[in-house]
Amino acid sequence: MSARVVIAGGGLAGLSLAVALLDRDPAARVTVLEPRTAYADDRTWCFWDVEPHPFRDLIAQRWRSWRVATPAGVAVAEDAGVPYARVRAGDVYARARERIAAAPNAELRTGVSVRRVAGDHVETETGEVIGAGVVCDGRPPAADALRAPGEPFLWQVFAGARVHARPGTFAPGTVDLMDFRVPQAGEIRFRYVLPDSDASALVELTAFTPSLPERGALDGALADAVAGVAGNAAEVVAGEQGAIPMTTALPPAPAAPGVIPIGTRAGAPRPSTGYAFLPIQRHAARLAERILAGAPQPLPMRGAGTRWLDRIFLNRLLAEPQGAPELFRRLAAGVPGDALARFLMERARPADVVRVMAALPVGPFAREAVRSTTPWPARAAG
């Protein structure tokens, strides 16, 4: 029988890893430890539907086109076979919980908070020690552990509202991916509108910002964004908020030797976009294979090539934030929808990369490429 895998944190990464293990070995011995006592439908996970994964059949909605708008114009990209997709966190949690409950040797223990992890056991806040063959750590990382000297860093902070409005308010087939025609407040800000129907949508106000703002700091801007798209009579029925790190810094070292980080702690969010859902699914699949093959060890979330490209892009955003809206609009206008979707989801073909490069201003990016390739101590000295 395989060694028991103990997973600290039953969020997206912890539950995805449990499902990936059970998909490959229904008798796998898995314990997930999660402080929550109840799961709510607390997040909306979106991504371009580029590949299969265990939750693909839960996709609640797909959109064929998406828009990027700036004061200079509006670019509309069409999916050409790769739609933008959404799953509800509540559906993912429910599916994973059913799978774990039905498995003979797996358990999800809610109301359990992990205090310490080691290579062969975890200790809970109540002092219980749980022995393990493999320990995976999906607890959120400390914010101050995410930065590294010389590596760009931005927070993607967002506040969202689920809005009901008059029929005809929203265009149901199109996502407003980034609408920069909102006050920028010295940051990079945009409105995101994900319509369920012509009368209902998730409206978010997102900021790319170097430091984490106080909770509620975006509320006023969100209210304006909602009023701007849906009018003052729109009804807000629910909220959603979060902060995602965007950095090419390598993720923090494991909390103890032999422990395997997963999810955000392992650097799941793509540095240039913050998208993490598909990287987490891929990481869970690869890690499950390794664990079941008896070779558990930390796995990098992505290769050096993507980090290099993202370092260049993030450094451009930091060097010239006021130019960011046009960069994104040029990408949506100049790159075919399917190529851009694959690029953003880290599944680019060589021709996709060429198209993305061709859509960006050559001079600043070439200079940034040289700068971003120089090892950081030399840059810091220069």
Ligand X SMILES: Cc1cc2nc3c(=O)[nH]c(=O)nc-3n(C[C@H](O)[C@H](O)[C@H](O)COP(=O)(O)OP(=O)(O)OC[C@H]3O[C@@H](n4cnc5c(N)ncnc54)[C@H](O)[C@@H]3O)c2cc1C
| Identity of the residue, 154 or 268, whose beta carbon is nearer to ligand X in the bound complex | 268
Min dist CB 166 to ligand X, Å, is: 26
Indicate which single residue of 10, 267, 271, 296 sits in contact with ligand X (rule: CB under 6 A): 10
CA–CA distance, 208 with 160 (Å, rounded to integer): 15
Min dist CB 158 to ligand X, Å, is: 7
Three-state SS at 352: helix
**Residue 9 binding ligand X, by CB under 6 A:** yes
**Residue 263 binding ligand X, by CB under 6 A:** yes
**Residue 34 binding ligand X, by CB under 6 A:** yes
Three-state SS at 193: strand
**Residue 90 binding ligand X, by CB under 6 A:** no
| Identity of the residue, 44 or 272, whose beta carbon is nearer to ligand X in the bound complex | 44
**Residue 50 binding ligand X, by CB under 6 A:** no
Structure tokens given for 53: 């994964």
**Residue 8 binding ligand X, by CB under 6 A:** yes
Stretch that binds ligand X, among 30-38, 294-302, 321-329, 332-340 (CB under 6 A): 30-38
**Residue 268 binding ligand X, by CB under 6 A:** yes
Stretch that binds ligand X, among 69-77, 133-141, 218-226, 292-300 (CB under 6 A): 133-141
**Residue 113 binding ligand X, by CB under 6 A:** yes
Min dist CB 308 to ligand X, Å, is: 21
| Identity of the residue, 280 or 335, whose beta carbon is nearer to ligand X in the bound complex | 280
Sign of CA dihedral 370, 372, 374, 380: positive
Min dist CB 35 to ligand X, Å, is: 5
Name the nearest CA neighbour of 108 among 21, 25, 43: 21
DSSP one-letter string for 125-191 = TT--EEE-SEEEE-SPPPGGGS--TTS-EEEEEEEEEEEE--TTSS-TTEEEEEE--S--TTSEEEE
**Residue 222 binding ligand X, by CB under 6 A:** no
**Residue 33 binding ligand X, by CB under 6 A:** yes
Min dist CB 275 to ligand X, Å, is: 4
DSSP one-letter string for 246-300 = EE-SPPPPPSSTT-EE-GGGGT-S-TTT---HHHHHHHHHHHHHHHHTT------
**Residue 11 binding ligand X, by CB under 6 A:** yes
Question: Which residue, chain included where needed, has tokens 């499950």?
Answer: 288
CA–CA distance, 117 with 9 (Å, rounded to integer): 11
Q: Which residue is nearest to ligand X (CB)?
A: 11
Indicate which single residue of 2, 4, 23, 35 sits in contact with ligand X (rule: CB under 6 A): 35
Indicate which single residue of 26, 73, 81, 140 sits in contact with ligand X (rule: CB under 6 A): 140
Long-range contacts of 369-376 (CB under 8 A, 24+ apart): 369/312, 371/315, 372/308, 372/311, 372/312, 372/315, 373/308, 376/149, 376/150, 376/151
Structure tokens given for 380: 């810091």
The H or E element containing residue 211 is none
Indicate which single residue of 46, 69, 161, 193 sits in contact with ligand X (rule: CB under 6 A): 46
**Residue 242 binding ligand X, by CB under 6 A:** yes
**Residue 165 binding ligand X, by CB under 6 A:** no
At residue 94, what are phi and psi to the nearest 5 degrees?
-65, -45
Min dist CB 104 to ligand X, Å, is: 24
Indicate which single residue of 139, 191, 282, 316 sits in contact with ligand X (rule: CB under 6 A): 139
**Residue 240 binding ligand X, by CB under 6 A:** yes
CA–CA distance, 172 with 241 (Å, rounded to integer): 23
Structure tokens given for 250: 């390598």
Binding site for ligand X (CB under 6 A): 8-14, 33-36, 43-47, 113-114, 138-140, 240, 242, 244, 263-264, 268-269, 275-277, 280
